Copies of this chain bind each other. A is one copy, B any other.
């Protein structure tokens, strides 16, 4: 036993810090003349894209951005946003992507909290941003305004034009901070999720494996890049050298033009965006199927069926900002291909298993013991591993709370099926407790979703004198009529009586966050009112 020779120090020749910046350098070399980025009438090759990023590094440097500095970006899916994802860390800084639908007070809070030195912002957001900047006064970051199509007066294009190109600085420490992504904060203050180079690199390789991206793919930016760095697709797409097709606005017509004219093969979306796609007047079956990753909530079976008719193959993934986006995938077992449609829908609605770069998900009780794998016992979903945040920026208390027991607590309630697939039942705070019974609102929502007339649905609890709380449903219809009583009867056939909504309200639309998540707290206010 010469045990001392088992772990020789790793020589520099056998080590390289894991960083997604390396993906860009490779693609600019290997795929130099291939199209990298398309934005309407503009497009760039990989060599040109890298040159723009190198100019951006030089420009940021000239604006004083140095090691560790935070640079906020409030942009839709335009080339500047993609360029910043490489240029900011390439200048040694930390990118802070901001949701484009925040209110002035939220912008002010986040900009101050992250201590941004610079803000690169969409001119169209000036009405929300200027009051925030005014409020911050001397503490406000400098702003570089971006105009559509890089038109006259676009300060980002001016910054690039004036800059001396600089090489990207790769981190010495792969665990260095790459971005801070603020949670949407449906309750309380937004928290800054810290994302590292190592985590982003590994998560990207997982995305490539799960989505099957290759150089022959083409990716349509329906998912906001500000949302968990576009679920790491800002890195994964670049790694494979396929094409980024920007889409500043999520509109059915623009999406279908992209799908047809740009040879799109992959896109990501919340269920609400799938609704936009399949209900667009431009919708028509695609010659070559595309792969769509859906996250946020399981899409309704009827929606999946309509999408598949159009040639859109859906993969269901699950994660949070704290897990770099999709941590789990409803990994489709080929043995399920021939199951009846209803069973396939039920299987696909599950959040699934960790991706190949994720550690195993657990569903645990309050003492962190695994709940039985019975598909019934409710517990909290907890995760750990390389694609879990290293903590909340400047918030050790929230970090400690989220990491209690050595696991990241998702706040999502779910069950573990006998086959090891997780299925969410609800957010912890969204459970309705009626007459002492816990009602997972998602279960009621799924029951309503099975009705062919239902397009979207949300169930919340309303205060009730007798039961404490009762479930109330808000339903968007698909055009064909269905009255509330019919829907209640439909649920009653499928679920226990105490789970049947006391009221079903037909509404035109559900209130949503900028990332398409339903704002249940608004519905709760309405149900209580």
5 nearest A-B pairs in the assembled complex, by CB-CB distance: A6-B68, A205-B205, A16-B385, A14-B390, A13-B384
How far apart are the CA atoms of A25 and B420 in the complex, in Å? 12
- A426 → chain B closest CB, angstroms: 23
A369 CB within 8 Å of chain B: no
Q: Which of A143-151, A303-311, A355-363, A455-463 contacts B (4 or more CB under 8 A)?
A: A355-363
Q: Give 8 A-B contacts (CB < 8 Å), ordered by A residue.
A: A6-B94, A22-B359, A25-B360, A26-B353, A29-B353, A34-B333, A34-B334, A215-B334
A138 CB within 8 Å of chain B: no
Query: Which of chain B's residues have a CB closer than 8 A to the CB of A390?
Result: 8, 10-11, 14
Question: How many residues does chain A have at the interface if contact means C-beta atoms less than 8 Å apart?
Answer: 76
Per the 8 Å Cβ criterion, residues 401-433 of A in contact with B are: 403, 406-408, 419-420
Q: Is the CB of B386 within 8 A of A14?
A: yes
Query: Which of chain B's residues have a CB closer than 8 A to the CB of A212?
Result: 212, 214
Query: Which of chain B's residues have a CB closer than 8 A to the CB of A389?
Result: 14
A239 CB within 8 Å of chain B: yes
The majority secondary structure among interface residues of chain A is loop
Name the one of B29, B199, B354 contacting A420, with C-beta atoms under 8 angstroms: B29
Name the one of B22, B240, B359, B403 contacting A209, with C-beta atoms under 8 angstroms: B240
Query: Which of chain B's residues have a CB closer than 8 A to the CB of A16?
Result: 359, 384-386
Question: Given that A7-B176, A68-B3, A391-B8 are known contacts, is A385 also in contact with B26, CB under 8 Å in the complex?
Answer: no
Q: Is the CB of B175 within 8 A of A10?
A: yes
CB-nearest residue of chain B to A357 = B205
How far apart are the CA atoms of A196 and B14 in the complex, in Å? 10
Q: Is the CB of B176 within 8 A of A6?
A: yes
Q: Is the CB of B7 within 8 A of A175?
A: yes
A31 CB within 8 Å of chain B: yes
Q: Is the CB of B208 within 8 A of A30?
A: no
Q: Is the CB of A13 within 8 A of B208?
A: no
Q: Is the CB of A239 within 8 A of B30?
A: no
Per the 8 Å Cβ criterion, residues 1-36 of A in contact with B are: 1-3, 5-8, 10-16, 18, 22-23, 25-26, 29-34
Q: Is the CB of B386 within 8 A of A194?
A: no
A115 CB within 8 Å of chain B: yes
Per the 8 Å Cβ criterion, residues 164-181 of A in contact with B are: 173, 175-177
Q: Is the CB of A388 within 8 A of B420?
A: no
CB-nearest residue of chain B to A215 = B334
- A340 → chain B closest CB, angstroms: 19
Per the 8 Å Cβ criterion, residues 37-71 of A in contact with B are: 67-69
How far apart are the CA atoms of A212 and B212 in the complex, in Å? 7
- Additional A-B contacts beyond A11-B403, A26-B360, A240-B356 (17; CB < 8 A): A1-B69, A5-B393, A5-B394, A7-B176, A8-B194, A10-B196, A10-B390, A11-B390, A13-B407, A13-B408, A16-B385, A23-B356, A25-B360, A34-B335, A205-B208, A205-B356, A212-B214
